[in-house]
Amino acid sequence: MPLTRVGVRPRPAPIEKISPSALNRILECPRQVAYARDDTTKELQRPTTRTALGLAAHGLTEAVSRGMGPPSGVDPTPWLEEEWDALIAAQLELLQLRWPGRDVPPARSWPGFAVTKVLLIRSLARRLSDGAMLSWPAVSRGHGHGGPPGLPWIERLLEDSTSKLFGAPDRVEEVAGRLRVVDLKSGVHQGEVTQAQRRQLLAYAWLVKCATGRLPDELAILDVRGRETVIAVDAAEVAALVVEVASAVEMFNQECATPSGVPARPAAGVCRWCEFRVVCADYWSAREDDWPSHADLAGVVVEVGFNQVEVAVDGGSTWRLLLAGSEKPSTDDIILAVDLEPAGYGTSRMRWHSRLRILPAQR
């Protein structure tokens, strides 16, 4: 298969400001950020059930943090369940909008749905019942005299024009005189703090310092069980992060202007959740059979059947792909399909969220 036809070279605009999540991506694989900033490829970013669960969990936690909930002394569980259902319904509607022609599954069948709902609602109900959640106002109070708004801040956008960082920490609070940054992680398997998570928290620490003139005393990750993992703030580590940001942005902007473009750094962990695999020739040339995305398929269509195609792949063998949705390739087209599932010997099946890219045959 001619990889020269598979790859799309991104042509992104230079970075003027960068979020902590984009910083993590640019350090792992600058090409991902380039694709996300290119008008011709950025639409490949679509929500999944994983992101939908995360947004719903953040939304419910934020609502409680802003003081919403039933009257004091009333069991909060029914209210939490009603709010959760409304948030999930909105996320399901968004999935259906962004994946036209696909059969988006009901929320109850989403991976991790039941355990995320149970753990989160149990945690928030316990906090509401125990009074551990303060009744925080929807709008931060001001100190007056031109000082910074009163804490806590709930997803308040912070920016620093010098470092070009911007972001909205889930919560910035002061408890017993200690300034804290709290970040909610909705994954049910949250364990040790990863390097990417630590980098994100350090970036938030710098933004809080820029906004308040004071470096936070501690950073915390809050999981859906209500457990906090606290990290002490090291001023030298925060300063090093700011230098890393400046270097990463400068390098990215220089690479945007070079003939070779922004490089890719394909690796199993880096590429696993990347939305841009279908346009990245470096991914297809680097991937190995033991990568988590081993079921991805690239080849030339040699036969078209009813809702399935036979595909010639590298090495001379053929592979059957069971199709989903309205996209239908023709014989001699090149196809690239990702996020598939095995369906028997020599066969893969597209799932509702599988991406299929079709390159028409050159005739």
Q: What is the DSSP string of 244-255?
A: HHHHHHHHHHHH
Average model confidence (pLDDT) for the chain? 88
CB 28 within 8 A of CB 270: yes
pLDDT, tens digit (0-9, with 9 covering 90-100), for 158-192: 999 999 999 999 999 988 889 999 998 876 566 68
| Span 200-209, average pLDDT | 96
Cis ω for the linkage preceding 152 (within 30 of 0): yes
Sequence-distant (6+) residues with CB within 8 A of 343 are 322, 349
CB 272 within 8 A of CB 281: no
∠148-151-154 over CA atoms, to 5°? 110
Q: How far apart are CA 309 and CA 346, in angstroms?
A: 12
pLDDT at position 143: 37
pLDDT, tens digit (0-9, with 9 covering 90-100), for 138-158: 333 333 333 356 888 988 999
Q: How far apart are CA 104 and CA 202, in angstroms?
A: 37
Beta strands in 260-346 (DSSP E): 297-305, 308-312, 318-322, 334-342
pLDDT score of 133 more than 70:
no
pLDDT, tens digit (0-9, with 9 covering 90-100), for 242-269: 999 999 999 999 999 888 889 999 999 8
End-to-end CA distance of the chain: 16
Sequence-distant (6+) residues with CB within 8 A of 324 are 102, 103, 349, 350, 351, 352, 354
Measure Cα distances from 275 to 47, 153, 171, 234 in Å.
10, 32, 29, 34
Cβ of 356: how many Cβ atoms within 10 Å? 20
pLDDT score of 275 more than 90:
yes
| Phi, psi at 131, each rounded to 5° | 75, 15
Q: Of the segments 90-94, 310-314, 315-319, which one has the largest average pLDDT value? A: 90-94
- Kind and range of the H or E element at 166? strand 165-167
DSSP alpha helices (H): ranges in 106-194?
113-130
pLDDT at position 228: 86
Tell me 171's DSSP state.
E
∠343-344-350 over CA atoms, to 5°? 20
DSSP alpha helices (H): ranges in the chain?
3-6, 20-28, 30-36, 49-65, 77-98, 113-130, 195-212, 235-256, 268-271, 281-286
Q: How far apart are CA 26 and CA 49, in angstroms?
A: 24
Q: Residue 118: pLDDT band by 50, 70, 90 thresholds? A: very high
Domains of the chain in sequence order? 46-130 (no CATH), 153-232 (3.90.320.10), 295-363 (2.40.50.140)
To the nearest whole percent, how much of the chain has pLDDT over 70?
91
> Tokens 């991506």 label which residue?
25
Q: Residue 135: pLDDT band by 50, 70, 90 thresholds? A: very low
DSSP alpha helices (H): ranges in 99-221?
113-130, 195-212
| Span 107-136, average pLDDT | 82
* Residue with the larger pLDDT of the pair 1 and 275: 275
pTM of the model: 0.85
CB 180 within 8 A of CB 219: yes
Q: How far apart are CA 107 and CA 277, in angstroms?
A: 26
pLDDT at position 193: 82
> Tokens 């989403």 label which residue?
110
Closest CA to 347 of 314, 311, 315: 311
pLDDT score of 22 more than 90:
yes
| Span 10-22, average pLDDT | 93
| Span 310-320, average pLDDT | 88
Half-sphere exposure of residue 157: CA atoms within 13 angstroms, side-chain side: 4
pLDDT at position 142: 36
| Span 1-12, average pLDDT | 79
CB 173 within 8 A of CB 152: yes
pLDDT score of 352 more than 70:
yes
